[in-house]
Structure 1
Amino acid sequence: MRVLYFAWVRQKVGVAEEEVAPPPEVRDVAGLIAWLSARSPGHAAAFAQARQVRAAVNQEFAAPGAPVGPGDEVAFFPPVTGG
């Protein structure tokens, strides 16, 4: 699984992207966030307030319950505002 990080999420994690192999029990975005949070202090800081982080699975916006799998690309980013 390819995980991408953008903006302040990337700054806290410390990398722009990484290849990960979560355990089989990680089946959705929320589970992936929980698993990633345990990987490092930077990951934990990035996801400390998970409600402030948005996700996309295979370039489609995804809710916390959206399924994820081994071949997916998952991106995490802050909410986008416009004007």
Structure 2
Amino acid sequence: MRYFARLREQFGLDGETLTLPDPVVSVADLIAHLSSRGGVWASELAPGKVFRVALDQELADPSAPLRDGAEVAILPPVTGG
């Protein structure tokens, strides 16, 4: 797992290695699993919050399946000009 920008600051870490329970098989499941930590995790990953998830450096939708050893990154939307 890697966290970027605002999320890195809010979570207090830039990454971690996770061993996920069997029911976590998709990006949506992963987000729900992380949200279940409560506190800032629940508020930053709540429905309606804007962030993107990349799976092995490609943007992924919530139904994307997770693979063992995959790099998952959660990042806020990119802005700029």
- In structure 2, the gaps of 5 or more residues are none
| Partner SS, residue 54 of structure 2 | strand
Q: CA RMSD in A?
A: 1.5
Q: Of residues 13, 16, 31 in structure 1, which corresponds to 2:14?
A: 16
Q: Is the 8 A contact 1:29 1:68 kept in 2?
A: yes
Deviation at 1:40, TM superposition (A): 4.3
- Structure 1: which 4+ aligned runs deviate by more than 4 Å? none
Deviation at 1:51, TM superposition (A): 4.5
Number of positions where the alignment pairs a residue of Structure 1 with one of Structure 2 = 81
Q: Is the 8 A contact 1:58 1:72 kept in 2?
A: yes
| Partner SS, residue 11 of structure 1 | helix
Cα deviation 1:14-43 (Å, max 9, x = unaligned): 110001111111111111000011124232
Q: Which structure has greater strand proportion?
A: 1
Note closer, same or farther for the CA distance 1:24–1:68 as it changes in structure 2 (3 Å cut): same
| Partner SS, residue 52 of structure 1 | coil
Q: Of residues 48, 71, 74 in structure 2, which corresponds to 1:73?
A: 71
Note closer, same or farther for the CA distance 1:22–1:34 as it changes in structure 2 (3 Å cut): same
Which amino acid is 1:70 matched to?
A: D
Identity across aligned pairs (percent)? 44
TM-score (norm 1): 0.86
Note closer, same or farther for the CA distance 1:28–1:58 as it changes in structure 2 (3 Å cut): same
Note closer, same or farther for the CA distance 1:50–1:27 as it changes in structure 2 (3 Å cut): farther
| Partner SS, residue 2 of structure 2 | strand
